[in-house]
Chains A and B, each alone.
Chain A
Amino acid sequence: MIEVRELRREFKVATSKGLRRNYKTVTAVDGVTFDVAAGEAVGYVGPNGAGKSTTIKMLTGILVPTSGHLTVNGVDPSKQRRDLARRIGVVFGQRSQLWWDLPLKDSFDLLRSIYRVSAQDHRARLDECVELLGLQETLQIPVRQLSLGQRMRGEITAALLHAPELLVLDEPTIGLDLESKERLREFLADLNTRRGTTLLLTTHDLDDIERLCPRLMVIDHGRVLADGPLDELRAEVTPERELVIDLREPGPAPDVPGVTAVRSEAGGLRHHLTFRRAETTAAQLITQVVRQVEVHDLAVVEPEIDDVIRKLYQRQLDQDAHR
């Protein structure tokens, strides 16, 4: 579906110092290589300025790469932008493709003409999106009067009316409340599993990834730091897991070989223990612990996805420092 090889994009940025204006070249995307197969759902994450949006603009053909090779749906996006646009959908979380002053429905009608969709197909797809996203009440309301959550659901519908094989979402959940986010995620997950629509999404909300994307790509300074299933990345970067035990009576942490007591809370009632998952299993550990102390409750905590990504950044910084 997407094939990217050694993709680079440079920008000239003006820096002024007094009256002199200098230009320096900034490399926004610096030799990125990846593939996305049809039907995948891929999360593309990285800090601000990492090169995510630049990559997406190149994928949709509105920016021309400085160098490198890029095909989407078998075509070169910047050369066949219009053909490609008919087959992919794009949602920019911070931009709107709806007509601000027109009712939502009129925007959809205009898009039908722009994408040359037959009236029947349009009807069927619109009905489905309206039903699943609960847009019935909002169709006649001008876009400017919609809430952000309603508008985003409108934006997603707008991107799907021409039944794209690939849906690219640039920060689709930005600014939404929890319920709106959840609703959107549910819809997108369904779209991916049931309809087989390929998803590529950038986000700062790592719950989006956890919920939607079996595969995660981490990018920073224009380079891919990591690419793989979330679970694998997690195991690779944070090999330690945490066991939290609540004791019946306050007491010292149990002493088990290979386990570090990180900290205790509530005057010795609760202890946090970390262990390496390569050396022992949670089950073994628990058996040993309950032999030593009387346990009221316990929980095994997976590392937070934020931690995983923070560690990935850190690892890259360390590598750079060693060079």
Chain B
Amino acid sequence: MLAGMTTNVVFGLLRVAILVAALRAANGEIADYDIAAANTYVWIGQGLLGFVLLWGTNELAERVRSGDVVVDLYRPWNLQGALLAEDVGRGGYALLTRLVPPMVFGMLLFPFQFPQNAVQWPLFGISALLALVISFGFRFLIDISSFWLLDNRGLYGFWNVSSGLLCGLTVPIAFFPGWARDVLWMTPFPAVLQAPIDVFLGHGDPWELLLLQAFWAVVMLGIGHVTLQRAMRKVVLQGG
């Protein structure tokens, strides 16, 4: 836990250094981001990363691969619902250990842009929770792709490499060229990371962002549900 926090903060420092250097070179402001907003963006992003668990463990995929998933499948529960509940529980713990520490670190030691309106705090909370659900939706789909792929490590690796860029972790999505920005906002990716950060920073209408996230949360869970049903109908369960 302590090691995780340290890594998280070190990467935060690196990202702040790069982003601030870029801002200085551009006379202190790029697309709505000044020095304080950029710092806030980085430290909230560092916190959300662990809270929404952008990069999961691929554990379920391994269970599909080994056949242990039969145990998960015969229980009298909805597997997707049970795993989501588990993930929300994990989020509760990650809130204290992963989300709050880097945010406090940034608030205390760096120029920080606090929400102008008090209502943005609870809205940020809801937005972060929705982001967690959408992130779960992605991870669940990647996991159960192993029912068909048998070995999903390629897809899993691809997600780990590309999700940071697509979700707005590498640079704010506002920094992208106009067409790329528009295309990305039509996908669920920004809803995982950029949306809660925007709610906190007051970029765009927070209610609109929440609505968009709620939409993607429902869609992602829906796709996951249908895919799991198909997996159970069609696909071989491994092992004797």
Contact = CB atoms under 8 A, between A and B. Distances in A.
B178 interface: no
B77 A60 contact: no
Interface stretch (A88-96, A121-129, A256-264, A296-304): A88-96
A281 B78 CA distance: 60
Interface majority SS on A: helix, strand, loop or mixed? loop
Interface residues of A, number: 24
B74 A81 contact: yes
B237 A63 contact: yes
B77 A82 contact: yes
Contact of A96 (B71, B78, B232, B236): B71
Contact of A62 (B68, B78, B232, B240): B232
B70 A62 contact: yes
A92 B70 CA distance: 9
Given A53-B240, A57-B237, A82 B76 contact: yes
B109 to A, nearest CB: 36
B233 A64 contact: yes
Interface in B224-239: 232-233, 236-237, 239
Contacts of A82: 76-78
B67 interface: yes
A99 B240 CA distance: 21
A165 B232 CA distance: 25
Nearest to B70: A62
Contact of B76 (A12, A62, A85): A85
A61 interface: yes
Interface in B15-58: none
A112 interface: no
Contacts of B77: 82, 114
Contacts, number: 45
A62 B74 contact: yes
B161 interface: no
Interface majority SS on B: helix, strand, loop or mixed? loop
Interface in A59-74: 60-64
B26 to A, nearest CB: 49
A22 interface: no
A70 to B, nearest CB: 15
Interface string A42-67: 00000011000100010011111000
Contact of A48 (B67, B78, B240): B240
Interface in A195-251: none
A85 B74 contact: yes
Nearest to B78: A82
B75 A94 contact: no
B223 interface: no
A82 B76 CA distance: 4
Nearest to A26: B236
A151 interface: no
A62 B73 contact: yes
A301 to B, nearest CB: 33
B75 A114 contact: yes
Contacts of A48: 240
Which of B68, B74, B76, B82 is the most central at the interface, judged by chain A CB atoms within 10 Å of its CB?
A: B74
Given A63-B237, A94-B240, A114 B76 contact: yes
A83 B240 CA distance: 25
Given A95-B67, A95-B68, A64 B232 contact: yes
Nearest to A11: B236
Which of A60, A62, A97 is the most central at the interface, judged by chain B CB atoms within 10 Å of its CB?
A: A62
21 contacts: A11-B236, A12-B236, A53-B240, A57-B70, A57-B237, A62-B73, A62-B232, A62-B237, A63-B237, A64-B232, A64-B233, A85-B74, A90-B74, A92-B70, A92-B71, A94-B240, A95-B70, A95-B71, A96-B68, A97-B71, A114-B75
Report the 3 A-B pairs with minimum CB-CB distance, sorted nearest first.
A85-B76, A62-B73, A82-B76
Interface of A: 11-12, 48-49, 53, 57, 60-64, 81-83, 85-86, 90, 92, 94-97, 114-115
Interface of B: 67-68, 70-71, 73-78, 82, 232-233, 236-237, 239-240
Given A62-B70, A63-B237, A82-B76, 6 more contacts: A53-B240, A62-B74, A85-B76, A92-B70, A114-B76, A114-B82
